[in-house]
Amino acid sequence: MLKTFFLGGIHPAENKLSAQKKVETLDLPKQVIIPLGQHIGAPAQAVVKKGDKVKAGTLIAQASGFVSANIHSSVSGTVAKVDVIADSAGNLKPAVVIDVEGDEWEEAIDRSADLKKEITLDSKAIVDKVKECGIVGLGGATFPTHIKLMPPPNTKAEVIIINAVECEPYLTSDHQLMLEKADEILVGVKILMKSVNVNKAIIGIENNKPDAIKLMTEKAKDYPEITIQPLKVKYPQGGEKQLIDACISRQVASGALPISTGAVVQNVGTAFAVYEAVQKNKPLFERVVTVTGKAVAKPSNFLARVGTPMSVLIEAAGGIPEDTGKIISGGPMMGKAMPTVNTVVVKGCSGILLMKDFESRRKEMTDCIRCSKCVNVCPMGLTPSYLMRVCELSMWDKAETDRVMDCIECGSCSFTCPANRTLLDYIRLGKGKVGGIIRARAASTATK
């Protein structure tokens, strides 16, 4: 029996159109726009100004505050401006705009393709290196990686779990990365293990990627402490809590940190970025991005520099099809719909999905028939229909006692609802409101 998580889950059509497509290196754009808030937490502070010359890998913004990450230039050229620019949600956010001139990298970066296996740095130096290179979680959440590698006191890391599940339909960037960079990923996993002093790692891969499972299992024979764990195909297995449950049968209690189970979860792309940072001294400024969609002429996986406009990637994949209705950054279950094609690739962007017009429209919502499909698919054991009702009625106390904050926003409820109810929209609203109420309560008890 293949392992999986035990509660809820759905199985959307996989549509992995760009599977087995080799990663192509994208030509450099004329200009890049590098947002300074590409991670969860405070935006970085710019350390360059207009007219400065930068190379690929030059630090252009310094982390500010505990939860934050450094940002590096992804190209060589001249800083055109440091300004506020509309981000993917349409909000004005600080960004650095660089005009591209040539492709010169910082001298310290090792650009050779040689595999460097030997890990010379010690645990603390690894964490510092990861922090310096601005590594964040590449699965989409973009949580700064160095913080995850410093477990809080009274917790102890026991195992590294590598998220190579890629449970979102359409996306293939992690899959292709594994096929092409298996050795580097395994060294990256070893580095992660050393950084938190554990001697066990599990790489969870869903069973719809048999070639990746075979290759990684083959390569991992040199690393007896790394296990490749095939998993049953089920969404949202790539959720941190679901993956821990699937791999080591431990459940993160409500409100607790995942580290309370002894597991440190990192995305497979992050493991590769950590390898490049620690062994090759290369900051995170490029990543694999899937460009896909049913009407896309040439679904592809590209290696793109951070700050490249999405329009450049879409052009390389054959241009925008005539009847495109929606452009999504990320996968179809949790990705964000983009207001324009001028938004740029950021560290957390795993894919660009173009949906046809008729696929993009929601169907008319009707009354709840209490069929309990949403309850059965919820991986957190919530009652989405009830939560939507109380959030509609602004009954925040009820939303809190019915555990609205446990929701991981996977969207399984809205996906499955036969009445097309906008369950997750209202639950998100409730999470925002209840989160505010909880913070206000904590603040008022603190001042008393």
Partner 1 sequence: MDKKLIVSLSPHIHSGNTVKGAMYGVLIALIPALLTSLFFFGLGAFIVIVTAVLSCVLFEFLIQKFLLKQKTTICDGSAVLTGLLLAFNLPSNLPIWIIIIGSLVAIGIGKMSFGGLGNNIFNPALVGRVFLLISFPTAMTSWPLPGQWSSYLDATTGATPLALIAAGQEAGYSPMDMFFGSMNGSLGEVSAIALLLGFAYMLIRKIITWHIPVAIFVVAALMSLICGLNPIEQLFSGGLMLGAIFMATDYVSSPMNKRGMIIYGAFIGALTILIRKFGAYPEGMSFAILIMNAFTPLINTYVKPKRFGEVVKNG
Per CB under 8 A, 350 contacts partner 1: no
Per CB under 8 A, 48 contacts partner 1: no
Least Å distance between CB 297 and partner 1? 15
Q: Between residues 179 and 338, which has the closer beta carbon with respect to partner 1?
A: 338
Strand partners of residue 231? 3, 206
Cis peptide before 151 (omega within 30 of 0): no
Q: Between residues 123 and 422, which has the closer beta carbon with respect to partner 1?
A: 422
Per CB under 8 A, 31 contacts partner 1: no
Least Å distance between CB 430 and partner 1? 13
Per CB under 8 A, 261 contacts partner 1: yes
Q: Between residues 261 and 301, which has the closer beta carbon with respect to partner 1?
A: 261
Per CB under 8 A, 25 contacts partner 1: no
3-state secondary structure of 124: helix
**Mask 145-184, x = binds partner 1 (CB under 8 A)?**
------------------------x---------------
Question: Count residues contacting partner 1 (CB under 8 A)?
Answer: 75
Out of 231, 327, 349, 391, name the contact with partner 1 by CB under 8 A. 327
Burial code of 88-123, b = ≥16 C-beta within 10 A, e = fewer?
beeeebbbbbbebeeeebbeebeeeeeeeeebeeee
Q: Rule CB under 8 A: which of 397-416 touch partner 1? A: 402-403, 406, 409, 411-412, 414-416
Per CB under 8 A, 380 contacts partner 1: yes
Per CB under 8 A, 191 contacts partner 1: no
Ramachandran bin of 419, using left for φ above 0, alpha for ψ from -120 to 50, beta for the remaining angles: alpha
Q: Between residues 100 and 378, which has the closer beta carbon with respect to partner 1?
A: 378
Cα distance between residue 147 and residue 142, in whole Å: 12
Out of 65, 210, 381, 432, name the contact with partner 1 by CB under 8 A. 381
Cα distance between residue 89 and residue 183, in whole Å: 37
Least Å distance between CB 423 and partner 1? 10
Least Å distance between CB 60 and partner 1? 29
Per CB under 8 A, 428 contacts partner 1: yes
Q: Apex CA 384: angle with CA 379 and CA 387, to 5°?
A: 135
Q: From 269, 258, 259, select the one nearest 163 (Cα to Cα).
A: 269
- DSSP 8-state class, residue 284: S
Cα distance between residue 155 and residue 115, in whole Å: 34
Per CB under 8 A, 334 contacts partner 1: yes
Least Å distance between CB 205 and partner 1? 22
Least Å distance between CB 369 and partner 1? 4
Cα distance between residue 47 and residue 96, in whole Å: 10
Out of 123, 217, 227, 251, name the contact with partner 1 by CB under 8 A. 251
Burial code of 313-336, b = ≥16 C-beta within 10 A, e = fewer?
bbebbeebbeebebbbbbbbbbbe
Q: Rule CB under 8 A: which of 352-371 touch partner 1? A: 353, 355, 357, 359-363, 366-371
Out of 35, 307, 335, 351, name the contact with partner 1 by CB under 8 A. 335
Phi, psi (rounded to 5 degrees) for 59: -65, 125
Per CB under 8 A, 379 contacts partner 1: yes
Per CB under 8 A, 418 contacts partner 1: yes
Least Å distance between CB 311 and partner 1? 8
- Asked if residues 341 and 313 have their Cβ atoms less than 8 Å apart, the reply is no
Q: Between residues 219 and 389, which has the closer beta carbon with respect to partner 1?
A: 389
The DSSP annotation for 347-363 comes to: TT--EEEEEEHHHHSPP
Cα distance between residue 90 and residue 97, in whole Å: 17
Q: From 223, 212, 227, 213, select the one nearest 161 (Cα to Cα).
A: 227
Per CB under 8 A, 280 contacts partner 1: no
Q: Rule CB under 8 A: which of 59-118 touch partner 1? A: none
- Asked if residues 163 and 229 have their Cβ atoms less than 8 Å apart, the reply is no
Q: Between residues 24 and 359, which has the closer beta carbon with respect to partner 1?
A: 359
Q: Apex CA 269: angle with CA 175 and CA 232, to 5°?
A: 45
Out of 31, 48, 104, 386, name the contact with partner 1 by CB under 8 A. 386
Tell how far CA 115 is from the center of its chain: 25
Per CB under 8 A, 265 contacts partner 1: no
